[in-house]
């Protein structure tokens, strides 16, 4: 009798211990009769994850779950968009939990995901990060002494933001040169260029540029243009774009004369990546006056950019720029040609 009593006591203690263990933990029963005990971590893709002491994390298909008790507080996202929170239980394929209006039920197969409170909802796509700006600082400087003294400095800043739908370019430049104490160049310019896709190759654009040229006695030049652009070639390493639009130009000179004109805005841009460390770019813009096609501006720039740095944060840009004005102000040349070598830092 004493032996039976001792066995009964041991079994009673073990039973109480197991009941306490099951009460304090989560458990899952499967179709083959197995009962897994641990802590439910979450659910996704039709499977539920249970952290156990004996086998680590175990993954069970929800279709194989016949019953479960989950004391762990979780968010249960359903396929119909509803959300159950807190502890939950399941019997015969039916999940019970707490909804917005109190106790609620749902088909266990309708569970799309389960996750701990405070973590992002995996059923809701995170907001897309804002598009990054690609910014570069450009600088070149040269001095010469001897038979003649010459000092020149130029450069600027350029920021580009691109998304799948649009493109925005902001820039500012300056150019100053002095020879034998006489200014030979003194210009400042700033502008913006915005483009919005209509289709994969077609886009509309608007651009604005402001300029001051001391030698041309130009206090203020404003160029505003808008129109359509078309990508004849649109690849990662090769791009060819044409533009057709209308342009409004306003000029104010030091002598008090103001002029304004409406013209066409015709442009062609070509970019070709020769190697990972070299790319060739050409831009050409022709802006004739609508009232007189003999009155026009022609701007051209071709550059070769070399990226010798291992981290590619800096590069050397070599090229030529031509600015042609068919009807320039008095005592100024029609053509300005600049050969340049820019040191470029990419921020």
Return the pLDDT at 270: 97
Q: How many CB atoms lie within 10 A of CB 153?
A: 15
Q: Say what percent of the chain tops pLDDT 70.
A: 91
Tokens 């993954």: give the residue: 59
Q: What would the pLDDT profile of 79-118 be if each residue is shown by its tens digit?
A: 888 999 889 999 988 999 888 888 889 899 889 999 999 8
Give Cβ neighbours of residue 29 (< 8 Å, ≥ 6 apart).
35, 36, 65, 66, 67, 68
Smallest CA-to-CA distance from 86 within 96, 67, 72 is with 72
Domains of the chain are 25-115 (no CATH), 133-346 (2.40.160.40)
- Determine the average pLDDT of the residues in 330-334: 80
Tokens of 299: 């701007």
Return the pLDDT at 198: 97
Q: Cα separation of 304 and 321, whole Å?
A: 12
Say what the pTM is.
0.65
Alpha carbon 152 to its chain's center: 36
Q: Say what percent of the chain tops pLDDT 90.
A: 55
Q: What would the pLDDT profile of 159-213 be if each residue is shown by its tens digit?
A: 999 998 999 999 999 988 888 878 878 899 999 999 999 999 999 999 999 999 8
**C-alpha distance from residue 236 to each of 124, 200, 225, 231 (Å):** 31, 14, 27, 12
Task: Classify 44 as helix, strand or coil.
Answer: strand
Tokens of 32: 């083959």
Return the pLDDT at 140: 85
- 104-139: buried (b, 16+ CB within 10 Å) or exposed (e) per residue? bebebeebbbbbeeeeeebeeeeeeeeeeeeebbbe
Q: What would the pLDDT profile of 217-275 be if each residue is shown by its tens digit?
A: 889 899 999 999 999 999 989 999 999 999 999 999 888 889 899 999 999 999 999 98
């Amino acid at each position: 009798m004493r032996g039976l009593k001792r066995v009964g006591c041991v079994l009673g203690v073990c039973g109480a211990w197991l009941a306490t263990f099951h009460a304090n933990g989560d458990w899952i029963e499967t179709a083959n009769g197995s009962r897994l005990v641990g802590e439910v971590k979450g659910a996704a893709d039709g499977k539920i994850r249970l952290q156990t002491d004996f086998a680590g994390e175990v993954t069970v298909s929800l279709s194989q779950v016949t019953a479960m008790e989950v004391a762990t507080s979780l968010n249960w996202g359903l396929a119909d968009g509803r959300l159950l929170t807190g502890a939950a239980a399941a019997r015969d394929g039916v999940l019970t939990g707490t909804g917005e209006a109190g106790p609620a039920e749902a088909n266990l197969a309708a569970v799309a995901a389960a996750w701990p409170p405070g973590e992002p909802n995996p059923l809701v796509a995170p907001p897309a990060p804002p598009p990054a700006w690609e910014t570069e600082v450009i600088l070149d400087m040269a001095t010469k002494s001897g038979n003649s003294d010459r000092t020149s400095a130029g450069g600027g800043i350029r920021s580009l933001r691109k998304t799948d739908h649009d493109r925005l370019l902001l820039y500012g430049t300056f150019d100053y040169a002095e020879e034998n104490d006489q200014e030979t160049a003194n210009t400042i310019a700033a502008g913006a260029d915005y483009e919005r896709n209509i289709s994969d190759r077609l886009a509309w654009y608007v651009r604005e540029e402001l300029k001051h040229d001391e030698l041309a006695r130009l206090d203020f030049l404003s160029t505003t243009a808008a129109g359509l652009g078309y990508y004849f070639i649109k690849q990662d390493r090769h791009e060819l774009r044409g533009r057709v639009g209308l342009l409004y130009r306003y000029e104010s000179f030091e002598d008090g004369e103001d002029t304004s004109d409406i013209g066409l805005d015709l442009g062609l841009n070509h970019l070709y990546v020769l190697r990972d460390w070299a790319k060739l770019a050409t831009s050409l813009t022709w802006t004739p006056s609508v009232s007189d096609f003999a009155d026009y501006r022609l701007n051209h720039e071709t550059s070769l950019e070399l990226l010798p740095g291992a981290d590619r944060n800096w590069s050397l840009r070599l090229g030529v720029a031509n600015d042609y004005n068919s009807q320039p102000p008095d005592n100024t040349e029609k053509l300005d040609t600049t050969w340049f070598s820019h040191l470029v830092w990419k921020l």
